[in-house]
Structure 1
Amino acid sequence: MKNQISGQVIGIPISSTAYPAEMPLDGILCIASNQYCASPNFRQSKIELIRIRMNKLGQKVENLAQGIRNHVKLGPKLSETVKGKLRLGAKILQLGGVTKVFKQNFSVSTGEKLLKASQCYLSTTAGPIAGLLFISTNRIAFCSERSIKVSTSAGDLLRFRYKVSVPLNKINRANESENVKDPSRKYINIVTKDDFEFWFMGFFDHQRTYEFLQLAVYESQ
């Protein structure tokens, strides 16, 4: 990741090597999950670049990825997902609202205001993670609904929230798309200026969230 992005984008982004326009959208998550596997469609230089980046990340990434996989494997079924969302809603009320949840999980700058918070899923290389997407006057941010367990090299077990934070002025564009087989399944794709992608889905209020995101990105330019 380039220096101007490093340290500001938190999380594991998905390299936007290419998603062919003609490819059905129900294949997007499959591509993301296999992003680091060799494919005839990838140029050799791209493959080598990905390998170099992954080697640099080392065992920490392996531990984190395994933690996310376990998080996804233990993920609830539909009925449990609904219960989880209700629990999350109750927790938000208990903490005093989404603004306090946002400030509790991220270092909020002076004058930064929360514009919109939405429950959704973030696509990762290990599968979708449920959580909250925050849109503020300074950034877009995501925090997982549940803690992820990761084992350290010393054998200790760590628990932490999976978080993503991208400054608005580092976002190149935000796209809206839908599944060609099921138009009710909509996605929001965020591409950074460093050519990394984040995919969000499963919004209760997809259109309104997308409109807030578009406005926030536009006003930050």
Structure 2
Amino acid sequence: MNLIGKKAGTFAHGVREHVRLGPKISETVKGKLSLGARILQVGGLENVFKQLFSFREGEKLLKACQCYLSTTAGPIAGLLFISSEKVAFCSERSIKIPCPNGEYVRVHYKAVVPVEKIKGVNRSENMKKPCQKYMEIVTVDGFDIWLMGFLNYQKAFKCLQQAISQ
């Protein structure tokens, strides 16, 4: 029973940290409901992954998890997909970007890194609030991608490490 209590506490903490990063709780909940409906419509997370990103023969989706991508404009909520071939992020909601003609178009924010281009994954945490944990994906060409607000940080980190060590 003690182990179940610890796991429930860890999960509850992950949910709190995940929701805390959103702009408003109502917006976060609305985004999660919309994401859930989309996953159901498409037929599961693997189908969402195949629909959003190119999928090669023999590629396997290892894990999909909700998290936030850190950007200069602030954190963006979305799904992180870890496959045998790539690590990919897609925002939950579309963002507006300007077009050359002066109008705006709505697109999902996406980032894709082939597994062989990942140099390593680093753990980090907020010094003042150690419960706030971050992951840094470092690429061989010197780019870094910061992720945070995982519902289950440990599982996501372990899966990411396994994917890049294959």
Larger Rg: 1
**CA deviation string 1:6-60 (max 9, x = no partner):** xxxxxxxxxxxxxxxxxxxxxxxxxxxxxxxxxxxxxxxxxxxxxxxxxxxxxxx
Q: Is the aligned partner of 1:184 residue 2:165?
A: no
- Does residue 126 (structure 1) correspond to residue 126 (structure 2)? The answer is no
More strand, by proportion: 2
1:200 equivalenced with 2:142 (yes/no): no
Query: What secondary structure does 1:90 align onto?
Result: helix
Give unmatched runs, 5+ long, in structure 2: 1-21
- In the superposition, the TM-score normalised over structure 2's length comes to 0.83
Q: Does 1:114 align with 2:78?
A: no
Aligned length: 145
| Deviation, structure 1 residue 135 | 0.1
After the TM superposition, which segments of 4 or more aligned residues of structure 1 sit over 4 Å from their partners? Answer: none
Counterparts in 2 of 1:184 and 1:79: CA distance versus 1, 3 Å: farther
**Counterpart amino acid of residue 162 in structure 1:** Y
Q: Please, which of 92, 99, 116 is the counterpart of residue 169 of structure 1? A: 116
Quote how far apart the aligned CAs of 1:82 are: 2.8
- Normalising by the residue count of structure 1, what TM-score does the alignment of the two structures yield? 0.63
Structure 1 unaligned blocks of 5 or more: 1-74
RMSD: 1.3
Counterpart Cα distance in 2 of 1:79 and 1:102: 26
SS at match of 1:130: strand
> What is the alpha-carbon distance in structure 2 between the residues aligned to residue 170 and residue 216 of structure 1?
12
Distance 1:79 1:159 in 2: 21
Q: Among all aligned residue pairs of Structure 1 and Structure 2, give the percentage whose two residues are the same amino acid.
A: 61
After superposition, give the CA deviation of every residue in 1:125-165 in whole Å (9 maximum; x if it has no partner). 22111110000000100001111111212123211111000
Listed as ranges, the matches of 1:59-70 within 5 Å are none
**CA distance in 1: counterparts of 2:44 and 2:123, whole angstroms:** 28
The counterpart of 1:91, out of the listed 14, 38, 52, is 38
